[in-house]
């Protein structure tokens, strides 16, 4: 055999050997991947990720601080669940439900949806995912009280997991009270006390400072609801309103008197600096002393100011306190048309039960509903935590025993209330005319709700 022929045969043998080795390596990889894919959940972290990534969209409202915390939790979830990707869609509260309604109507709402006390409205629209099939396996709710679960259960179907127990109250700037020499109110203060404190703060601190935001012209009806209940009335119950025209006259007159005394933010100032937008609120700038807020929001506000903030109960009326027992403030829900319901349930479970997620979220959306998570956070409590916990305890103690009922078309009511208050504040309508229009329109909403 010639040298050239021998070399050629040797090269051919080497090529065949390399090909065989390469084929063996690929077969080994395929075998390993197949084995990892068939392993049960909870196997080694070195298992291969699913070949196809599940993509979810998630929407919520809140402050910049809440956005940052929620984004960190999403990132942590994706690290622990490499087969699931979540695209965030977050915003402030203004316009949140308008956008969501448009998405639902178009059939393309996000897979994960943060809800408020108006969750029943969206259950009735058949817009939310029934999570019942995942409770007990994907979704662990053993550490939740039965009362919290009932709030999101309709016709034996479960639609939303409570993110935090909270209540509405009056967020106040204690530093402004101190500068103005106004003593902090007790839990028994009256609406006259409230008015006097707001007027005094405005006068003592001078132009550009106001005792309170205008609770009669914002997109928050907590002030009105509490005022009505403290006087033996209610906003809504069993398919009808439980207040009359004079109640609304009294409410708007209270705020009109304070506005004329310079104790309330002028309407143009309020529009430019809405209290619901934490980073725009004048309370963190030391220019407004009081505003209505969900108690858990104190974290977002306190992070933006060196002033000391606190929480006050609403004033008492002729029938005592208008507060109701603390309730779930927000829920995490799924979209009824999501293509990945189990992945949705998996993220919700992570959000409320994972210790690492809990340490990131803290009490931003309220006092955590899980006892184990509360114990975890209590061990690392801050002064702001104590303010929130003490306030929730106070409200629980003084609250009326009324079982509060949410207005069925809450979003539309909020718009009507805000428009009515702004018409009065800007001087576009008298209180009498605006209230007449309000009563007509709210009765139309009730008729509309009954027809749905």
In this prediction, residue 51 carries a pLDDT of 58
Domain boundaries, the chain: 52-164+328-386, 168-323+407-451
Q: What distance in Å separates the CA atoms of residue 401 and residue 387, rounded to the nearest whole number?
A: 24
Contact 257, 198 (CB under 8 A): no
Fold: same for 52-164+328-386 and 168-323+407-451 = yes
Instruction: Give every residue of the chain whose pLDDT is below 50, as ranges.
Output: 1-49
User: In 10 A of CB 27, how many CB atoms?
Assistant: 10
In this prediction, residue 44 carries a pLDDT of 32
Q: Which fold has domain 168-323+407-451?
A: D-Maltodextrin-Binding Protein; domain 2 (3.40.190)
Contact 352, 160 (CB under 8 A): no
In this prediction, residue 406 carries a pLDDT of 85
Single pTM value for the model: 0.72
The CATH code belonging to domain 52-164+328-386 is: 3.40.190.10
């Amino acid at each position: 055999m010639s040298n050239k022929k021998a070399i050629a045969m040797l090269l051919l043998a080497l090529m065949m050997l390399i090909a065989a080795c390469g084929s063996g390596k690929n077969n080994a990889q395929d075998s390993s991947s197949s084995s990892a894919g068939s392993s049960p959940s909870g196997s080694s972290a070195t298992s291969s990720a699913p070949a196809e990534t599940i993509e979810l969209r998630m929407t919520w409202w809140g402050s910049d601080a809440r956005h940052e915390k929620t984004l960190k939790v999403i990132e942590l979830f994706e690290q622990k669940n490499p087969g699931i990707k979540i695209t965030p869609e977050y915003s402030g509260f203004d316009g949140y439900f308008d956008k969501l309604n448009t998405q639902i109507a178009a059939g393309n709402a996000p897979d994960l949806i943060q809800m408020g006390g108006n969750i029943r409205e969206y259950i009735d629209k058949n817009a939310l995912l029934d999570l019942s099939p995942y409770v007990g396996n994907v979704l662990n709710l053993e550490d939740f009280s039965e009362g919290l679960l009932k709030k999101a259960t309709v016709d034996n179907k479960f639609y939303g997991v409570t993110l935090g127990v909270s209540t509405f109250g009056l967020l106040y700037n204690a530093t402004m009270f101190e500068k103005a020499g106004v003593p902090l109110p007790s839990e028994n203060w009256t609406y006259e006390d409230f008015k006097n404190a707001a007027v005094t703060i405005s006068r003592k601190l001078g132009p550009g400072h106001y005792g309170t935001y205008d609770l009669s012209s914002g997109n928050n009806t907590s002030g009105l609801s509490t005022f009505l209940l403290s006087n033996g009335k209610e906003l809504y119950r069993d398919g009808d309103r439980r207040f009359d025209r004079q109640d609304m006259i009294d409410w708007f007159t209270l705020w009109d008197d304070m506005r004329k005394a310079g104790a309330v933010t002028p309407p143009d100032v309020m529009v430019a600096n809405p209290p619901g937008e934490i980073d725009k609120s004048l309370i963190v700038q030391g220019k407004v002393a009081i505003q209505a807020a969900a108690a858990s929001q104190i974290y977002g506000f306190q992070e933006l100011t060196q002033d000391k903030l606190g929480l006050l109960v609403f004033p008492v009326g002729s029938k005592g306190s208008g507060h109701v027992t603390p309730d779930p403030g927000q829920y995490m829900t799924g979209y009824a048309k999501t293509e990945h319901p189990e992945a949705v349930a998996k993220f919700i479970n992570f959000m409320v039960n994972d210790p690492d997620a809990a340490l990131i979220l803290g009490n931003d959306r309220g006092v955590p509903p899980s006892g184990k998570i509360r114990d975890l956070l209590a061990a690392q409590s801050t002064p702001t935590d104590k303010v929130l916990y003490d306030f929730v305890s106070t409200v629980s103690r003084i609250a009326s025993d009324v079982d509060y009922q949410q207005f069925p078309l809450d979003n539309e009511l909020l718009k009507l209330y805000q428009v009515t208050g702004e018409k009065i504040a800007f001087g576009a309508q008298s209180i009498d005319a605006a209230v007449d229009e309000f009563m007509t329109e709210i009765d139309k909403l009730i008729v509309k709700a009954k027809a749905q």
